[in-house]
Amino acid sequence: MTVTNSSAGMSMFLKSLFFILILAQISCLAQKQIPPPVLIGTPMTPERLWTVKRVTGLGLTRDGNNLVYRVSTPDVEADKMRSSYYMVPVTGGPTTEIPDASGLAVKELSPDGKYKISTKEVKTEQVRGTDYYPELKKSNAWIYNALDYRHWDTWNDGTYNHLFFGPADQADSTYTDLLQGMPYNCPQKPFGGDDDYVWSPDGKSIVYVAKKLAGTASVVSTNTDLYRYELATGITTNLTEQNKGYDTNPQYSIHGDLAYLSMQTDGYEADKNDLKVIRNGKVLNLTSQWDETVLSYRWANDGRRLWFTAAVDGTLQVFEVNVPQTANERATVRQVTQGDWDVNTIIGESGDLLIVNRVSINRAAELFSYNTMTKTWRQLTDVNGEVYNATSTCRTERRYVTTSDQKKMLVWVVYPPDFDPNKKYPTLLYCQGGPQSALTQFYSFRWNLHLMASQGYIVVAPNRRGMPGHGVEWNRQISKDWGGQNIRDYLSAIDDMSAMPYVDRNRLGAVGASYGGYSVFFLAGVHNKRFRSFIAHDGMFNTQSMYGTTEEMFFVNYDLGGPYWDPANRKSYVESNPSALVAKWDTPILIIQGGKDYRVPEGQGIEAFTAAQLRGIKSRFLFLPEENHWVTRPQNSLVWQREFFKWLKETL
């Protein structure tokens, strides 16, 4: 019995010891944290971001064998950019620095080299006090009789961009003004360039883009047209007179077919952009049946197809469309590239290679070739390799969220470089501008999601209503409903992410610019204690005063429905007006405003800051008197970023 009792006791002891060991092991496992990933390099900082060079593909040499590109290097101390030019074989190889871009075909020269296009500003209107009263030499008065008195970041001084042509061997002063001294622009202001004109293949005519409307009529319309000027006769013909929206970017094929981009609706700047071709006097809409919008394009070398870029499911990709050659043939759109990146520009084509500019959330633009036969990529430039090899990357994730109206919405999530799912992180809702701008794998030098995540924040970037890449209807829905479904889309996205155990629900912020700034102002009145901090840059705070001070009236006429004095637009000026919600503001807010922003004028930021201060809300006003709707100067950009992250540290 004693032995038996001893054996039983030993058995009980061994069982107890076994369970103690198991419990101890479980306890150790429970306490052990999943180790963070091994970081390659250190996190991106604002200072490092402003060492990143900007790469721009300029085109292929005449033989198609080499790519010419420009590298713009930030010089923070001098507060400007410095440019250098390079050439690299399209098949890859060593890079050669060159003095300029003269190795490219000159678009200004006619195909036979006999004639040349030039552009210069021409004063067509009296505006200044000294124009009317030249004896009052110290007057700085400006006198206007119609709208279009200022645009983007410049007051109208009575000068317009004009297009001239003449013999290539003669001085420009002898050239003929295609716009005949009228108050119209070509290239278009403020962003037009050599995409606004093209020689016909036979060199007998010039096709150019112009909005032949002046003053108030100009600012309420988007109706640009393509005009053909015949050199021999001086006759100008409107090629797109039947279309009342934007017609832009004319390009000829080697066969003489004229392609261009076209929006149908006058006043709707974010309308579906179709790719059209004029063949034998007949207009063919190649993308009319395709449920997306074209961003940019170029002819294929064979002149039978066109390559174009478009947003699709949170990225920018290359597509192809054929030009029907017979009555029975139909235009068919085909996606050519795919992947989690943005193909911003198609620079050229050489054999089976497309030469493109490509970016991702983690990396600024570099130039690549894409082999359309083997479907393989080759990186041609690595201008910022040294910077990024020393910089840790952030994991990006596609997340699909069910919206309040039961739709599927793509949300990009960007995680800190050392993300550990066992920890909790402050999280930022990124609100995109536009309002109809695509939210893709973009790389910005201001709203940089890689940089934000690298400071320890999870970034949530929803493809809310109003964005291209998810069908035309998804894109159109936001117009006249700024404070509606798209705001609910934002809340659906942040609520979905807030359910994750690694999101600190007590440390949520919302940030954005332009329509994104409007979104922040609106969310501040409806967020119901979700957020602890807000940052709004050049945002629309008061839709009524915005209508009365912005410069492109077609934008507010279409997107807000028209003027605030029309009772039919109550939704835009009351229900969707952030200023009407100020009584509900209760959260710290940083407000940033450019002094030369005439799209969303400075009064918007001033009104918002005044409201926050008088409401007793912790707030700060960052004013950039010489910046427009963007921030372009290096030192101002660094101030912007330092204040941005300083505010988040204070409030989150």
Q: Which residues are marked as active site?
A: 514, 597, 629
Among candidate residues 247, 415, 442, 411, the one with its CA nearest the CA of residue 342: 442
Among candidate residues 612, 546, 543, the one with its CA nearest the CA of residue 573: 543
Interatomic CA distance for residues 541 and 514, integer angstroms: 10
Beta strand residue intervals within 202-300, DSSP E? 205-210, 225-230, 236-238, 247-252, 258-262, 274-279, 282-285, 294-299
Interatomic CA distance for residues 398 and 411, integer angstroms: 6
**Chain-centre distance of CA 281, in angstroms?**
35
Q: Are 487 and 513 contacting, i.e. CB atoms less than 8 angstroms apart? A: no
CA torsion, points 522, 523, 528, 533, in degrees to nearest 10?
-130
User: Is the CA virtual torsion 73, 75, 78, 79 positive or negative?
Assistant: positive
First to last CA, the chain: 70
Q: Which residue has the tokens 């110290």?
A: 138
DSSP 3-state of 522: helix
Interatomic CA distance for residues 541 and 309, integer angstroms: 33
DSSP 358-397: EEETTEEEEEEEEETTTTEEEE---TTHHHHHTB----EE
Interatomic CA distance for residues 593 and 464, integer angstroms: 24
Interatomic CA distance for residues 652 and 640, integer angstroms: 18
Q: Which two tokens stand for residue 378?
A: 């080759």
Half-sphere exposure of 16 (CA within 13 A, CB side): 6
Q: What is the 3-state secondary structure (H, E, C) of 166-208?
A: EECCCCHHHCEECCCCCCCCCCCCCCCCHHHEEECCCCCEEEE
Among candidate residues 581, 573, 576, the one with its CA nearest the CA of residue 617: 581
Q: Are 361 and 442 contacting, i.e. CB atoms less than 8 angstroms apart? A: yes
Report DSSP state, residue 33.
P
Amino acid at 384: N
Interatomic CA distance for residues 339 and 333, integer angstroms: 18
